[in-house]
């Protein structure tokens, strides 16, 4: 088991407290440690279907939580929270829509993004 760094736990706590109408039970269930490299549900059932899945890993001696945030309203956001609380957007992240009219590029990008997420252990059901 890998301990959840306090800055990562603080970020998750703040995000839950700012999103859930009754956050205390959700915050109480946030993991304080996780098996390294294994995706698990961090929080779910929030407003608009908001949920967070994550995997805790070591990267060059630092600990980071890789997160896939999903909401029925806003789609998916893919990012990493480093042990100091810094948030880094990750790619390839799924696109919720295409703006330039290139439907083929949109679907190709999302095929690549979802293959990457499955390879990292996300989207396993």
Higher pLDDT, 16 or 98: 16
Half-sphere exposure of 66 (CA within 13 A, CB side): 19
101 alpha carbon, distance to own chain's centre: 28
pTM confidence score: 0.91
For 32-82, how does the pLDDT look when each residue is reduced to its tens digit (9 = 90+)? 999 999 999 999 988 778 999 999 999 999 999 999 999 887 789 999 999
Distance CA 42, CA 46 (A): 11
Tell me the C-alpha to C-alpha distance, in Å, between residue 9 and each of 4, 110, 123.
6, 30, 23
What integer pLDDT is reported at residue 123 of this predicted model? 87
For 85-121, how does the pLDDT look when each residue is reduced to its tens digit (9 = 90+)? 999 999 999 988 776 778 888 999 999 999 999 999 9
85, 10 Cβ separation under 8 angstroms: yes
């Amino acid at each position: 088991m890998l301990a959840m760094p306090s800055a990562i736990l603080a970020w998750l706590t703040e995000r839950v407290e700012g999103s859930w109408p009754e956050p205390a039970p959700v915050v109480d269930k946030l993991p304080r440690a996780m098996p390294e490299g294994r995706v698990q549900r961090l929080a779910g059932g929030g407003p608009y279907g908001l949920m967070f899945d994550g995997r805790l890993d070591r990267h060059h001696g630092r600990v980071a939580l890789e997160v896939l945030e999903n909401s029925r309203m806003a789609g998916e956001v893919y990012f990493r929270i480093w042990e100091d609380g810094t948030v880094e957007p990750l790619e390839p992240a799924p696109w919720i829509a295409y703006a330039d009219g290139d439907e083929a590029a949109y679907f190709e990008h999302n095929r690549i993004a979802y293959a990457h997420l499955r390879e990292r252990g996300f989207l396993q059901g």
